[in-house]
Chain A
Amino acid sequence: MTDAHTTGPFIAAIDQGTTSSRCIVFDKDGRIVSVDQKEHEQIFPKPGWVEHDAAEIWTNVQEVVAGAIEKAGITPADVQAIGITNQRETTLLWDKNTGEPVHNAIVWQDTRTDALCKELGRNVGQDRFRRQTGLPLASYFAGPKVRWLLDNVEGLRERAEAGDILFGTMDSWVIWNLTGGTDGGVHVTDVTNASRTLLMNLHEMRWDEKILQSMEIPAAVLPEIRSSAEVYGVAKAGPLAGVPVASALGDQQAALFGQTCFSQGEAKSTYGTGTFMLMNTGDQPVNSYNGLLTTVGYQIGEQKPVYALEGSIAVTGALVQWMRDQMGLIKSAAEIETLASSVEDNGGAYFVPAFSGLFAPYWRPDARGVIAGLTRYVTKAHIARAVLEATAWQTREISDAMTKDSGVELTALKVDGGMTSNNLLMQTLSDFLDAPVVRPMVAETTCLGAAYAAGLAVGFWSSTDELRANWRRAAEWTPRMDAATRDREYKNWLKAVERSMGWLDDES
């Protein structure tokens, strides 16, 4: 049973993420056979703007696929299917005749469409399209980014109307290129990614013509909406030529799938660049009155779609990266724990990382980051602690909102993502939530979810029950904080959040 050398067949998953692209090869037990990963450049042209070079991303994807296949020492014949998962909402338009992007991709964290969103809200405001889409009008989502590109790239609107331009989130871009690009590439997206555009009707799983009109987006640019687990096409070239491309899921939905949250009421929280808590709400979209999103969880082939409630936090791991890259206070992300552990508490400091405004549950584009409670006593170690606490408090806020919207009490939080290797953070999370925090044995649940969906599509796995049996507890943290301390700290945190709001003036 302790075979170091697993035998095929395998599933390959591609995770086109915000900071990196990776490819992981999984065996039938869901065990990792090999991993390859490559970071790409984060382009910050102006305050609040974030872009990626889509050509670089496609090159990296090809490299990590080749890398993972080589490390696994296998051939395409050993691989039954490819699964795709991706950073969501990041928006690209490209020329379908040349395969060239018309502009850098606009990343989900980018806030350039704040004013546009306000304008689109007209007299109704943020919730103008919520009934149809489940989302507030916010710069986070893809639709307004498409509109911005059409308005700001010269001659683009004409080309788009002539049918020469394709829109896609990163799933579409990767699948189109994988399946041949200009030479017959398929232009598709899946229901989960489409549910993040502000353009899809959540009840019908179709592009909403009225919204397209309001946003002035020509239907000709849009990909076909498909389920999350079906064969879209076959890889044309490269190390996986001939292998079916059989799943697509936004990264957070993929993590929900990888954590095997297949039953109503099951939830997970993923700690990466940002943090996203998703709860399976079964075949009913649940409206949120507490600042959460209603979104599609997944759809397996012809089956009914499964919906989810989502609490989105824009900045968690990104704040640790900021401490490393912009502040130079640490040399690696993991060192934040070393620094933070050198003090007993936050020394009175609270860090609200509203770098892209505040996402859930506030949705305040006018907020910007603040560090509150500073005195001369505060050291960089206290700030490091405040950085980790920010992630934990933000989780507490969305978990409270989740309980209110769903009526489901949190008994234990299933976590995954890069930040879960931080022991202090996981303990703090358990303390602030006053609930156990549980990490599964495969921390790479995003890739695992994409692999699971692809494997289901091609019959590699037979059912979600089979997948559920693979889930194993790797670690569990239990609360140790007394209620009085928790309540006092939470109050302070909320005061700090208040101070981050209204920083931007109305007109900016």
Chain B
Amino acid sequence: MAKNIQSLERAAAMLRLLAGGERRLGLTEVASSLGLAKGTAHGILRTLQAEGFVEQDPASGRYQLGAELLRLGSTYLDVHELRARALVWTDDLARSSGESVYLGVLHHKGVLIVHHVFRPDDSRQVLEVGAMQPLHSAALGKVLSAYDPVAHNEALENEREAFTPRTITDPEGFEAVLDLTRARGWAADVEETWDGVASIAAPIHDRRRMPVGAVGVTGAVERIRAGGELRPDLVAAVRDCARGVPGSGRRALLRRLPPPPVTPVTIAIPAAEPLTCVMTGTKLPFIGRHCRTPTGNTR
């Protein structure tokens, strides 16, 4: 086994030290407990402090665990929370675009639809919450694959089915699509998943710029495109919805409301999981950078 990085080992030891027994320790105590020179210990503590993993009490100068560490364990944004926060602006997107709106998250090998707003035309429509879309061809899936490394791996490693003659299935072609998606900040699907249907989607990031989901509009290809081009006004509306327009009064979905309270100590891993994947029959509760399996392991 390759030699481990010493400074990381020392940093880990420091965090363990601060987590156990007495909660606040001075520099001298930290250094002597770990057998380090004061200068070395101080350098590591300062780095940890800059990352938010350690905090220094301004009055006593003592160190304790930082809020970031607690947050790390609870980054999992509940999908139902995501839906609740997205409600107002996805409604608005559907109204302004005249198309149906979907909110999706990575789930196993596909995109799980966690929220769906009908096209505002009084036609009969069926709620598609709980349905799955493919990662490699749907606009939501491309966005997730472009921004979330886990989704990217899933899309690359699994079979990319050719749903229509336009589906891009070769790895190079697919990577090129993802590059384009990252470069322009949105993805499209023009009859690559369903004949006659086109979609435009953009990523939703949380406060720390982590991709947590994707939002998009879907409709008949002749409405989503105009003169052979994807309608720029639709692209703008989708991106506004996903990230907000600075100064326009619209906020990104996740920045609009205060963050959920961080409960220190307990890290929420539910005993069992809620959403049943209609494709695989499996269940998965939380989204975040990674999904969690029932055992709490990162997939």
Contacts and interface: CB of A to CB of B under 8 A. Distances in A.
Given A4-B236, A4-B250, A475 B117 contact: yes
A345 to B, nearest CB: 13
Interface in A368-398: 379, 381
Q: Which 4 A-B pairs have the closest CB atoms?
A: A341-B274, A71-B249, A342-B272, A472-B120
Interface in A52-103: 70-73
Nearest to B121: A472
A112 B266 CA distance: 38
29 contacts: A1-B98, A2-B96, A2-B97, A2-B98, A4-B240, A31-B92, A31-B95, A31-B96, A32-B92, A71-B250, A71-B251, A73-B247, A73-B249, A331-B74, A331-B263, A332-B261, A335-B81, A337-B274, A339-B270, A339-B274, A421-B80, A421-B87, A423-B80, A423-B129, A441-B91, A441-B120, A475-B116, A475-B118, A476-B127
A374 B19 CA distance: 39
Given A342-B271, A422-B80, A34 B118 contact: no
A473 interface: yes
A338 interface: yes
A26 to B, nearest CB: 11
Contacts of A208: none
A421 B86 CA distance: 9
Most buried by B among A31, A35, A343, A477: A35
B122 A73 contact: no
Nearest to B248: A5
Contacts of B83: 334, 421, 423
A332 B260 contact: yes
Contacts of B263: 328, 331
A334 B261 CA distance: 13
A474 B270 contact: no
Nearest to B245: A4
A328 B118 CA distance: 35
Interface residues of A, number: 45
Contact of B248 (A73, A332, A423): A73
Given A2-B233, A341-B275, A476-B125, A331 B248 contact: no
A467 to B, nearest CB: 15
Contact of A338 (B116, B245, B285): B285
B273 interface: yes
Nearest to A379: B271
Interface residues of B, number: 49
Interface string B119-137: 0101001010100000000
Contacts of A293: none
A33 interface: yes
A387 B248 CA distance: 39
Interface in B86-113: 87-88, 91-92, 94-98
Given A2-B234, A5-B248, A33-B249, A331 B260 contact: yes
A442 interface: yes
Given A25-B249, A332-B81, 11 more contacts: A2-B97, A2-B234, A3-B96, A4-B245, A338-B274, A342-B274, A443-B88, A444-B88, A472-B118, A474-B117, A475-B118
A4 B92 CA distance: 10
A4 B93 CA distance: 9
B78 interface: yes
A379 B94 CA distance: 39
B146 interface: no
Contact of B88 (A35, A71, A72, A342): A35
B210 interface: no
Contacts of A335: 78, 80-81, 268
Contacts of B202: none
B120 A473 contact: yes
B22 to A, nearest CB: 26
Interface string A413-433: 000001001110000000000
B260 A472 contact: no
A199 to B, nearest CB: 37
Interface of B: 74, 78-81, 83-84, 87-88, 91-92, 94-98, 116-118, 120, 122, 125, 127, 129, 231, 233-234, 236-237, 240, 245, 247-251, 256, 260-261, 263, 268, 270-275, 285-286
Contacts of B251: 71
Contacts of A235: none
A358 interface: no
B100 to A, nearest CB: 10
A333 interface: yes
Nearest to B262: A331
A381 B285 CA distance: 13
B53 to A, nearest CB: 22
Contacts of A34: 249-250
A333 B84 contact: yes
Interface string A322-337: 0000001001111101
A333 B268 CA distance: 14
Contacts of A444: 88
Given A441-B120, A475-B117, A331 B236 contact: no
A104 B245 CA distance: 40
B84 A421 contact: yes
Interface string A455-492: 00000000000000000111111000000000000000
A396 to B, nearest CB: 21
B73 to A, nearest CB: 12
A418 B81 CA distance: 12
Contacts of B78: 332, 334-335, 338
Given A3-B96, A4-B248, A379-B271, A442 B91 contact: yes
Contacts of B234: 2
A338 B260 CA distance: 15
A428 to B, nearest CB: 14
A476 B260 CA distance: 28
B272 A381 contact: yes
A347 B1 CA distance: 50
B45 to A, nearest CB: 30
Nearest to A335: B78
B84 A4 contact: no
A74 to B, nearest CB: 8
Contacts of A442: 91
Contacts of A342: 270-274, 285
Contacts of B285: 338, 342
Nearest to B270: A342
A38 to B, nearest CB: 10
A33 B116 CA distance: 21
Contacts of B87: 421, 443
Nearest to B261: A331
